[in-house]
Amino acid sequence: MMIHGNTVADGTPVQEASAEQWAEVLDVMVDAGYTSIDPTDTWIQIADLSPARLEEFARTVTAAGLTIPAFSTSRRSVVDPDLGDEHLAYGHRAIDACAAIGIPLVSFGFMRALTPAQAKAMWFWHEPGPVDDPAPEARARAVARIQELARHAAEVGVQVSLEMYEDTYLGTADSAVRFVEEVGLDNVGLNPDFGNFLRLHRPIEDWWYVAEKTMPLANYWHLKNYLRDFDPATGAYFSHPAPLESGTINYRKVIRYAVESGFRGAFCVEHYGGDSISVGATNREYIRRVLPRTIPTP
């Protein structure tokens, strides 16, 4: 996952940067051993590049020796009370951009912009964020909007993945599975990013339960891990980002189960804090070590 921020070294927005400036950032990823990236719209909004600039971006990525198996959108909920319509239109543009340059999958979610308290916190998950409206009619509207995006995506040969995130319609294993079933389209699956839950300073679902419920529907996967602890004397929870092999989730077990369940999507390594690029590279090599040597037929 590209975690470089939305400006290049001289302060130019990535959207307006030259191909040479894009290449400088991509070279950092190549030097760290990556062969594929998820550009993410926290780095560059490919949905809002002109056709000529979009092609220029695609050529720059190819020239760097990289491929793009997926594009993730971030904090652009299509049911945001204030920006939902705008984000829905953006989602359609993202699908068209992916189709235009051969990106086979786009990841959407219902997380919204950070609150002021989250933005000020040491780690944003220390503060509660927005909560999706639980009313049946509100959930039905969310389903309808994802169906709209997914039908468009199917028309242009793109898959849709839905990222799990706390306090959204994809905020628990059961709710996420039910949501995909309610959408009911073959090109829609889950991005079971249960690292989003592990870091929360409150009771959470067991990570293995989440894996068992969601992996059979997964078509893309953001992976990150955290150390998690609980002090029963005070009721306090603690969490901190960790490499995949060092955190609370046993990713060796989960990755094997995912593959045995039929997962054939891309693994997107993600990490907060420190040298995220190098930790991601460590995570990449860990995944390669623990992948089953023989891929079973689902």
- Which regions in the chain score pLDDT beneath 50? 298
pTM: predicted TM-score of the whole model, two decimal places: 0.96
The helix (run of H) or strand (run of E) holding residue 240 is strand 236-242
DSSP per residue, 137-171: HHHHHHHHHHHHHHHHHHHTT-EEEEE--TTSTTS
- pLDDT on residue 296: 65
Taking every pair of Cα atoms in the chain, the longest distance, rounded to a whole number of angstroms, is 60
Q: Which of 41, 33, 97, 40 is nearest to 65 (CA)?
A: 33
Return the closest-CA partner of residue 78 out of 2, 6, 179.
Answer: 179
Q: How far is residue 245 from each of residues 71, 119, 162, 194, 235, measured CA to CA in Å?
A: 25, 29, 25, 15, 27
| 4 and 276 Cβ atoms separated by less than 8 Å | no
What's the pLDDT score for residue 294?
76
Where residue 55 falls (left for φ over 0; alpha for ψ -120 to 50; beta otherwise) is alpha
**What's the pLDDT score for residue 3?**
86
Q: Three-state SS for 218?
A: strand
